[in-house]
Amino acid sequence: MISIYNTLTRKKEEFKPINPPEVKMYVCGPTVYDYFHIGNARSFIMADMIRKYLEYKGYIVKYVMNLTDVDDKIIKKSIEENTGTDVVSEKYISAFMVDITKLKIKKADVYPKATAHIQDIIDVIQSLVDKGFAYNIDGNVFYNVLKFKDYGKLSGKKLDELEAGARVEVNEEKNNPLDFSLWKKAKEGEPYWESPWGKGRPGWHIECSAMSCKHLGETFDIHAGGSDLIFPHHENEIAQSEAANGKKFVNYWIHFGFLNINNEKMSKSLGNFFTARDILKAYSPEAVRLAFAQTHYAGPLNFSEELLSSAEKGLEKLNNLAEKINEEINNNNTGGVDPSFNFAKFKEGFEAAMNDDFNSPQATAVIFDFIREVNRAAAENENINVNFYLNVKDFLRKTAEGVLGIIDFDAAGTTGSGQLENDLIELLIKLRTDAKKEKNYALSDKIRDELKNIGIVLEDSREKTSFKRARK
RNA sequence: GGCGCUGUAGCCAAGCGGUCUAAGGCGAAGGUCUGCAAAACCUUUAUUCGUCGGUUCGAAUCCGACCGGCGCCUCCA
Mean pLDDT value across chain A: 92
Answer yes or no: is A28 CB < 7 A from strand B: yes
User: Which bases of chain B are under 7 A from a protein CB atom?
Assistant: 1-6, 11-15, 23-27, 33-42, 69-77
Query: Mean pLDDT, to the nearest integer, of A127-137?
Result: 96
Whether residue A320 has pLDDT greater than 60: yes
Look at domain A3-282 and name its CATH class.
alpha beta
Residues 113-172 of A with CB under 7 A from strand B: 155-158, 161-162, 165, 167-169
Answer yes or no: is A471 CB < 7 A from strand B: no
Query: Mean pLDDT, to the nearest integer, of A15-39?
Result: 96
Q: What is the pLDDT of residue A163?
A: 64
Query: Mean pLDDT, to the nearest integer, of A159-181?
Result: 70
Position with higher pLDDT, A397 vs A382: A397
Residues 394-423 of A with CB under 7 A from strand B: none
Domain boundaries defined on chain A: 3-282, 313-404, 419-469
Q: Are A228 and A211 in contact (CB under 8 A)?
A: no
* Closest residue by Cα to residue A323 from A406, A403, A391, A407: A407
Query: Mean pLDDT, to the nearest integer, of A24-44?
Result: 96
Q: Which residue is nearest to nucleotide B1 (CA to C1')?
A: A165
Q: Which residue is nearest to nucleotide B24 (CA to C1')?
A: A365
| Residues A81-129: tens digit of each pLDDT | 999 999 999 999 999 999 999 999 999 999 999 999 999 999 999 999 9
| Residues A244-280: tens digit of each pLDDT | 999 999 999 999 999 999 888 998 888 889 999 999 9
Whether residue A414 has pLDDT greater than 60: no
Give residue A415's pLDDT band: very low, low, confident or very high (50, 70, 90): low
Q: What is the pLDDT of residue A165?
A: 47
Does domain A313-404 bear CATH number 1.20.120.640? yes
Q: Which nucleotide is nearest to A260 (CA to C1')?
A: B70
Whether residue A172 has pLDDT greater than 70: no
